[in-house]
Amino acid sequence: MRTVTKDTLTQAFLDCCDPDTDPRLHHVLERLVHHLHAFAREVDLTHDEWRTGLRLLTEAAAFTTPERNEFVLFSDVLGLSSLVDMINTPDAATSSSVLGPFHILGAPPLPVGGDLKGDNVGDTVVVEGQVLDTAGRPIPGAMLELWQTAANGLYSNQDEAQSDWNLRGCMTLGDDGRYLFSTVRPIAYTVPDDGPVGALLHATGRHPWRPGHHHVIVQAEGFQPLVTELFPDDDPYLDEDAVFGVRSDLVIHYTRTEERTALPPDLLAAATLEPPFHLVRFDFKLQAEA
Ligand code: BEZ
Ligand code: FE
């Protein structure tokens, strides 16, 4: 080991791992260290740069709380979260997209046809569709979890002015896999940029904006869960999402109408919602468990 050089250090690391290490752990670690060492050699990493990297990670730890994980945000803005999503999305299923830090477990039940908009200011949006398998058959008894920002671009857990479960709900679907809800149009907002991730964005001339989106988790017995987002097609940030979450199959088009008669008959708040209405249909496709 004392004869180790910059060219043999990677192999020296590999040689000191127990050959009985779990094979997947051994493989992932081996490739990680291989690329990490190759990266340092390739850019001739200086001590100053190495220290800067460690300082950013240390600051990320200081910014991390149960409500905000700066490490996840680093993964998001570097594109790693989306790359992992893409690697793990089955071809025939709806694309997955970032979960983000604002999801809370335990959202209140919302019936099929239910309303999330309530007193929220903003345009009325009505979303309907079905949860299907990859052959296009309805999946009975699926569960849909929904959350989004209010008109000020904030989630309920970022904003004391909103009630705890504002714009959040959990819908259990029937045998036809059909879902339907009314809500407010989501608008573009910025990811938190007052910490080390923000410093990195600003240093590289990037903005922190995400296009408006509806967050959705779809789960059904015997199928791979889907964590995804739906993005209105007229959002100015659609092609410059700070966290690379947009996929073409997740872009939706709202059809605008003033006509109350255009609303689905089983929309529970149909009589009280204010026009104009923005209607959209989107079907989610889930991949069966192997
Ligand atoms: C979000 O969509 O809620 C989100 C995703 C990644 C980083 C920050 C926020
Ligand atoms: Fe979001």
66-79: average pLDDT: 92
CA distances from 236 to 126, 197, 247, 276, 279 (A): 21, 22, 15, 21, 20
Residue with tokens 């989004």: 148
CA nearest ligand 1 atom 7, residue: 100
d(CA 116, CA 108): 11
- What pLDDT was estimated at residue 66? 81
How many Cα atoms occupy the beta-carbon half-sphere of 145 within 13 Å?
A: 17
189 DSSP β-pair partners: 210
Does the beta carbon of 212 sit less than 6 angstroms from any atom of ligand 1? no
- Return d(Cα 197, Cα 77) in angstroms, integer: 8
pLDDT tens sequence across 249-281: 999 999 999 999 999 999 999 999 999 999 999
pLDDT at residue 216 tops 80: yes
Q: CATH assignment of 77-286?
A: 2.60.130.10
**Range with the poorest average pLDDT among 4-18, 110-124, 134-148, 194-208:** 4-18
Instruction: Return the ligand number nearest the Cα of 74.
Output: 1
- pLDDT of 1 reads 67
Q: Where are the domains of the chain?
A: 9-45, 77-286
Residue 57 has pLDDT above 90, yes or no: yes
User: Is residue 42 pLDDT above 80, yes or no?
Assistant: yes
Check if 100 has its Cβ closer than 6 Å to any atom of ligand 1: yes
Q: How far apart are CA 220 and CA 198, in angstroms?
A: 37
3-state SS class at 11: helix
Atom of ligand 1 nearest to the CA of 81: 6
